[in-house]
């Protein structure tokens, strides 16, 4: 008697193989998607930055409209203010870097003295001292041209500013019609609209929180550096403000350059003072001031926040690290909308949602008590 081999195949093996195949296909698609982000990093960074600014400025635009401002006047006014601040930041960075030429001879002398002192202390017969007199006079300009991102070159900077200007103006103009577009896109689904509303609230809270607290930290850093006499204090203050948007390690990144400059200008004790001052300021702000002002954070796991900085930094460069928190929240939003549950997004939050009968809860909108919440399908 012939026995059919088809009946001997367990269903679980077939289902498991199918699931494994789906997993590999999804993993391959994710790798291709990440590679696409890497190739188009400059465009993705510009788009995300523009959209985030439009999202943050949107309450101001609606408030101006309620006060009787025409839509075009509100958009133009917000655009001029934001673009003017951007130009001021870029100009401050370029002017500070260009002034490096004036102080270069002094820095050369100090580096030579430090190298000699280190060699003498550790008994090195051939101290690692280089002939810094051979450094060209336009060394700082070459450093600006080759070591900073390409956008800092004249042509690249102008092109980036023009693209940024048009995208920013268009994004601000879309603020007033975006609610209607989202309503039509989601077909009025209260659950998805509630997710989008919470996402917008989280974004505005994050930027407002970090802008205020980062400005306080930057001002205190500038005061300390100015009191010590470190050069380019405004540039280091700007760097400290920008790095405050990078969780956990942002202040460490902003501390390196002024500490090295303090070492070159004055010596190791002054550099140590800069490091200690930065640590004290940021620890007090992060663990004393921030909880009092914020209360509840964005509910993002600390290890995920740290890994997100490295992941988005590797894919999108320094701007990706700067936008790591918004990008992670965007990924969380897309995951919740696509799956209809918090089961998978619970991997990246600090407070895990409460289980219901052993299962992760579905995403529901805030509905009146008389109505029954409508979950999206899992």
Among candidates 57, 49, 23, which has minimal Cα distance to 312? Answer: 49
Q: Give the pLDDT confidence score for residue 293 in this predicted structure.
A: 61
The answer to whether 139 and 101 have CB atoms below 8 angstroms apart is yes
Residues in the chain: 378
**Structure tokens that stand for 326 in this block:** 């918004």
Query: Which own/partner contact pairs does 273-278 have at CB distance under 8 Å and 24+ positions apart?
Result: 273/228, 274/224, 274/225, 274/228, 274/230, 277/221, 277/224, 278/221, 278/251, 278/254
Q: Give the pLDDT confidence score for residue 377 in this predicted structure.
A: 41
The answer to whether 367 and 190 have CB atoms below 8 angstroms apart is yes
**Structure tokens that stand for 187 in this block:** 């077909």
The set of residues, in sequence order, having a beta carbon less than 8 Å from that of 249 and lying 6+ positions away, is 306, 309
pLDDT (tens, 9 = 90+) of the chain, 378 residues, equals 555 555 545 555 555 567 777 778 878 888 888 888 888 888 888 888 888 888 888 888 888 888 888 988 888 888 888 888 888 887 887 777 777 767 777 877 787 777 777 777 776 655 554 454 555 555 555 555 554 544 444 555 566 667 777 888 888 888 888 888 888 877 878 888 888 888 888 888 888 888 888 899 899 999 999 999 888 898 899 889 988 888 778 888 889 989 999 988 888 899 999 999 999 998 888 777 766 665 455 666 677 777 888 888 888 888 888 888 888 888 888 877 777 766 666 666 655 555 544 444 444 444 444 444 444 443
Among candidates 216, 214, 294, 300, which has minimal Cα distance to 251? Answer: 214
Other beta carbons within 10 angstroms of residue 36's beta carbon come to 12
Q: Give the pLDDT confidence score for residue 358 in this predicted structure.
A: 41
d(CA 132, CA 121): 22
d(CA 342, CA 218): 37
CA 225 from chain centre, in angstroms, equals: 25
The answer to whether 374 and 365 have CB atoms below 8 angstroms apart is yes
DSSP 211-238: HHHHHHHHHHHHHHHHHHT-S-HHHHHH
Return the beta strands (E) in the chain as ranges: none
**Structure tokens that stand for 310 in this block:** 């490295």
The set of residues, in sequence order, having a beta carbon less than 8 Å from that of 33 and lying 6+ positions away, is none
For tokens 């990144």, the residue is 253
**Structure tokens that stand for 314 in this block:** 């590797």
d(CA 252, CA 254): 5
Other beta carbons within 10 angstroms of residue 95's beta carbon come to 12
Q: What 3-state DSSP class applies to 295? A: coil
d(CA 175, CA 165): 16
d(CA 222, CA 104): 22
């Amino acid at each position: 008697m012939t026995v059919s081999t088809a009946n001997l195949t367990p269903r679980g093996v077939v289902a498991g193989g199918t699931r494994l195949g789906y997993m590999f296909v999804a993993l391959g698609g994710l790798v291709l998607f990440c590679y696409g982000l890497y190739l188009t990093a400059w465009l993705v960074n510009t788009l995300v930055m523009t959209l985030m600014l439009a999202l943050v400025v949107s309450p101001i635009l609606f408030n101006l409209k309620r006060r009787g401002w025409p839509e075009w006047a509100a958009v133009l006014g917000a655009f001029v203010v934001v673009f003017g601040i951007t130009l001021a930041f870029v100009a401050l960075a370029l002017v500070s870097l260009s002034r490096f030429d004036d102080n270069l001879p002094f820095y050369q002398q100090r580096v030579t003295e430090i190298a000699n002192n280190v060699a003498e202390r550790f008994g090195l017969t051939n101290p690692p001292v280089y002939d810094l007199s051979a450094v060209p006079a336009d060394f700082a300009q070459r450093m600006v041209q080759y070591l900073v991102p390409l956008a800092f070159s004249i042509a690249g900077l102008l092109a980036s500013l023009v693209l940024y200007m048009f995208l920013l103006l268009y994004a601000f103009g879309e603020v007033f019609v975006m609610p209607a577009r989202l309503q039509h896109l989601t077909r009025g689904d209260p659950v998805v609209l509630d997710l989008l509303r919470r996402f917008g609230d989280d974004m505005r809270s994050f930027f407002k929180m970090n802008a205020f607290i980062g400005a306080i930290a930057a001002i205190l850093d500038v005061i300390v550096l100015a009191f010590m006499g470190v050069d380019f204090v405004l540039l280091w203050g700007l760097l400290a403000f920008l790095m405050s948007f990078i969780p956990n390690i942002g202040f460490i990144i902003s501390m390196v350059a002024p500490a090295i400059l303090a070492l070159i200008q004055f010596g190791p004790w002054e550099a140590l003072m800069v490091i200690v001052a930065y640590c004290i300021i940021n620890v007090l702000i992060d663990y004393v001031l921030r909880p009092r002002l914020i209360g509840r954070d964005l509910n993002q796991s600390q290890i995920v926040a740290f890994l997100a900085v490295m992941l988005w930094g590797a894919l999108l460069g320094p701007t990706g690290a700067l936008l790591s928190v918004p990008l992670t929240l965007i990924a969380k939003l897309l995951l919740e909308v696509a799956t209809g549950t918090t089961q998978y997004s619970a991997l990246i939050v600090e407070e895990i949602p409460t289980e219901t009968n052993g299962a992760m809860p579905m995403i529901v909108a805030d509905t009146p008590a008389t109505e029954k919440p409508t979950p999206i399908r899992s």
